[in-house]
Amino acid sequence: MRDPIIVTTTEQIAGKRIVRTIGLVRGNTIRSRSLGRDILAGLKNLVGGEISEYTKMIAECREEALDRMIAQAQANGANAVIGMRFASAEMMEHAAELLAYGTAVVVEDL
């Protein structure tokens, strides 16, 4: 098993020094809404409140995109990703892409 990789939205990591920049890494997933989720969401919309079906789907998308980004960073020899961000885009009427991206680096203790 590989050592855990550090992922941060900042450009620096406290107590670490960047010794090599590997470059851009990314992971994405594209998901479509299902009819069942849309029906449940429509009903929930009538009474208000959180649409937990979509909340769960988005959380799963984020984790999948993040895992794919981390795998790419590790495959390229990185032990950290800095400047990590999420982005999303609608691909078609009922499908969207979620992208995780950042800069893969090698860090060592100060």
Tell me the domains of the chain and their CATH numbers: 6-109 (3.30.110.70)
**What does pTM read for this prediction?**
0.82
Give the residue-averaged pLDDT of 9-26: 97
The tokens of 107 are what? Answer: 């860090």
Whether 97 and 30 have beta carbons less than 8 Å apart is answered as yes
Query: Which letter does DSSP use for residue 52 in this model?
Result: H
Q: Is the pLDDT of residue 9 over 90?
A: yes
* Sign of the C-alpha dihedral computed for residues 48, 50, 53 and 55 taken in this order: positive
pLDDT tens figures, 58-86: 889 999 999 999 999 999 999 999 999 99
**How far apart are the C-alpha atoms of 20 and 78, rounded to whole Å?**
9
